[in-house]
């Protein structure tokens, strides 16, 4: 199977498995797992922050950040296709008691500008309205087709948010993809944000785990919330050993995924009935529209599966994601399968 459903489907490499088997471990709830401690220090240094904490999933990292930046009965602002709004089962409402105010971005590319955000802010609202506490950004933006927002644009939003007394959390599940596409260091890309979550388990190739980075005080409070949410784990160095390899070696491997995504998009653009602009494919996510194809997205996905290619359909769109386990010639195979189905 050529599995293009997500970059979460990668299996740990032989090197990772060997490192996991050999990992030095201890009880992380007691702070005694040397391997997780090393990974947390590496992540903090990589982002030039005081501290970092490993969390079992990106969703838990985002949930903890939302909890720490808000108070019950307040609001957060996010672009309408954001992961925190659409794919985290209302965790912000359930765990943090906050309303999510979804806003559209004027340019359609998934990234908010200050002018999109400003009208939605409730700074000192009357007593019967909830106050805005937090802005959540996403880079790269998953359901906007892996689009990226630059360091300058991120900084502008953060600076203006801070001057309004608002915090900014970056859902950087794929921040290394964004940094690769922008040819920018993750430090520069994320410096202005109050907290950053990134996934080890996606393009970087670890079997599990994400990191939350921020100030020492923020991460200490995050540690209590992680435990409260059931995320306090014991000999987790077994997973951290894979995470260290993901963090050290993973970023350099993303460029190939981006090249493959671009080539996939260019091939798709030539197939009648498929709408996609390869120019808009900046990272490893390819989302194309099939409204004008002779089959529906669900039918195309089902036929692709028969041909050994897995993708995800939603509405009139199909998503394909390149990753470590997709070889260059898998792109050719996938393209010829789609051609057979649609021509
Ligand atoms: C995958 C993802 C997450 C959540 O990560 P999980 O580990 O699946 O919980 C958060 N944000 C974005 C943008 C993602 O793509």
Alpha-carbon span 239 to 206, nearest angstrom = 8
Supply the residue whose CA is at minimum distance from atom 8 of ligand 1.
58
Alpha-carbon span 271 to 318, nearest angstrom = 14
Calculate how far, in angstroms, residue 151's C-alpha sits from the geometric centre of ligand 1.
21
Domain residues for the domain of 329 are 2-7+253-342
Q: Are residues 201 and 333 in the same domain?
A: no
Q: Are residues 273 and 234 in the same domain?
A: no
Calculate how far, in angstroms, residue 177's C-alpha sits from the geometric centre of ligand 1.
14
Calculate how far, in angstroms, residue 19's C-alpha sits from the geometric centre of ligand 1.
25
Q: Provide the β-strand partners of residue 323.
A: none
Q: Are residues 206 and 176 in the same domain?
A: yes
Q: Are residues 118 and 69 in the same domain?
A: yes
- Mutation test of ligand 1: which of 83, 172, 231 has the most ligand atoms closer than 8 Å to its C-beta? 83
Q: Are residues 225 and 260 in the same domain?
A: no
Q: 223, 250, 277 — which closes off a domain? A: 250
Alpha-carbon span 247 to 199, nearest angstrom = 10
Calculate how far, in angstroms, residue 173's C-alpha sits from the geometric centre of ligand 1.
6
Calculate how far, in angstroms, residue 200's C-alpha sits from the geometric centre of ligand 1.
10
Q: Is 138 in the pocket of ligand 1 (CB under 6 A)?
A: yes
CATH of the domain at 21: 3.40.640.10
CATH of the domain at 278: 3.90.1150.10
Tokens of 242: 């894979």
Q: Is 171 in the pocket of ligand 1 (CB under 6 A)?
A: yes
How many structural domains are present in the chain? 2
CA atoms within 13 A on the CB side of 56: 12
Q: Are residues 281 and 309 in the same domain?
A: yes
Supply the residue whose CA is at minimum distance from atom 4 of ligand 1.
58
Q: Are residues 221 and 270 in the same domain?
A: no
Alpha-carbon span 150 to 286, nearest angstrom = 20
Q: Is 199 in the pocket of ligand 1 (CB under 6 A)?
A: yes
Alpha-carbon span 243 to 160, nearest angstrom = 34
Question: Which one, of 50, 28, 44, 15, lies nearest residue 218 by Cα?
Answer: 50
Q: 229, 250, 271 — which closes off a domain? A: 250
The whole-model pTM stands at 0.97
Sign of the C-alpha dihedral computed for residues 270, 275, 278 and 281 taken in this order: negative
Calculate how far, in angstroms, residue 58's C-alpha sits from the geometric centre of ligand 1.
5
Alpha-carbon span 194 to 174, nearest angstrom = 17
What is each CA distance from 297 to 77, 220, 250, 261, in whole angstroms? Answer: 31, 45, 32, 19
Q: 199, 216, 250 — which closes off a domain? A: 250
What is the pLDDT at residue 110? Answer: 85
Q: Are residues 271 and 290 in the same domain?
A: yes
Q: Give the pLDDT of the chain (343 residues) as one tens digit per residue.
A: 999 999 999 999 999 999 999 999 999 999 999 999 999 999 999 999 999 999 999 999 999 999 999 999 999 999 999 999 999 999 999 999 999 999 999 887 888 999 999 999 999 999 999 999 999 999 999 999 999 999 999 999 999 999 999 999 999 999 999 999 999 999 999 999 999 999 999 999 999 999 999 999 999 999 999 999 999 999 999 999 999 999 999 999 999 999 999 999 999 999 999 999 999 999 999 999 999 999 999 999 999 999 999 999 999 999 999 999 999 999 999 999 999 999 8
The ligand 1 atom nearest the CA atom of 138: 13
Buried b (16+ CB within 10 A) or exposed e, 113-145: ebebbeebbeeeeeeeebbbbbbbbbbbbbbbb
Tokens of 206: 């670890």
Under 8 Å CB-to-CB from 300, ≥6 apart: which residues? 290, 293, 311, 313, 318, 338, 341, 342
Q: Is 173 in the pocket of ligand 1 (CB under 6 A)?
A: yes
User: Which residue has tokens 């602009």?
Assistant: 277
Q: Are residues 160 and 278 in the same domain?
A: no
Calculate how far, in angstroms, residue 59's C-alpha sits from the geometric centre of ligand 1.
6
Q: Are residues 235 and 282 in the same domain?
A: no
| Spacing of C-alpha 222 from chain mean position | 19
Q: Are residues 132 and 160 in the same domain?
A: yes
Alpha-carbon span 172 to 212, nearest angstrom = 10
Q: Are residues 34 and 145 in the same domain?
A: yes
**SS3 letters across 201-221:** CCCCCCCCCEEEEECHHHHHH
The ligand 1 atom nearest the CA atom of 202: 1
pLDDT digits (tens, 9 = 90+) for 225-283: 999 999 999 999 999 999 999 999 999 999 999 999 999 999 999 999 999 999 999 99
């Amino acid at each position: 199977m050529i599995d293009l459903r997500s970059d979460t489907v990668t299996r740990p490499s032989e090197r990772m498995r060997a490192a996991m088997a050999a990992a030095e471990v201890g009880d992380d709830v007691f702070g005694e797992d040397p391997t997780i401690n090393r990974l947390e220090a590496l992540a903090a240094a990589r982002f030039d922050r005081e501290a970092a904490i490993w969390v079992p999933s990106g969703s838990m990292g985002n949930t903890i950040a939302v909890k720490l930046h808000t108070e019950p009965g307040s609001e957060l602002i996010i672009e309408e296709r954001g992961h925190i709004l659409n794919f985290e089962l209302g965790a912000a409402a359930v765990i943090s008691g906050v309303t999510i105010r979804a806003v559209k971005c004027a340019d359609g590319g998934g990234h908010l500008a200050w002018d999109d955000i400003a009208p939605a802010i409730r700074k000192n609202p009357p007593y019967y309205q909830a106050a805005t506490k937090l802005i959540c950004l996403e880079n790269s933006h998953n359901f906007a087709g892996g689009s990226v927002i630059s360091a300058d644009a991120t900084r502008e939003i953060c600076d203006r948010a801070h001057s309004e007394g608002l915090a900014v959390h970056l859902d950087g599940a794929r921040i290394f993809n964004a940094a690769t596409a922008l040819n920018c260091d993750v430090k520069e890309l994320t410096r202005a944000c109050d907290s950053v979550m990134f996934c080890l388990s996606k393009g970087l190739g670890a079997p599990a785990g994400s990191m939350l980075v921020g100030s020492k005080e923020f991460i200490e409070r995050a540690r209590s919330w992680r435990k409260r949410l059931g995320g306090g784990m014991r000999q987790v160095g077994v997973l951290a050993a894979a995470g260290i390899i993901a963090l050290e070696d993973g970023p350099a491997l993303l460029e190939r995924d981006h090249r493959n995504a671009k080539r996939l998009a260019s091939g798709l653009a030539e197939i009648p009935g498929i709408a996609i602009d390869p120019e808009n494919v900046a990272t490893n996510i390819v989302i194309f529209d099939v409204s004008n194809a002779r089959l529906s997205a669900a039918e195309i996905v089902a036929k692709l599966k028969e041909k050994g290619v897995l993708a995800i359909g939603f509405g009139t769109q199909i998503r394909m994601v390149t990753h470590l386990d997709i070889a260059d010639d898998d792109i050719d195979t996938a393209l010829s399968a789609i051609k057979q189905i649609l021509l």
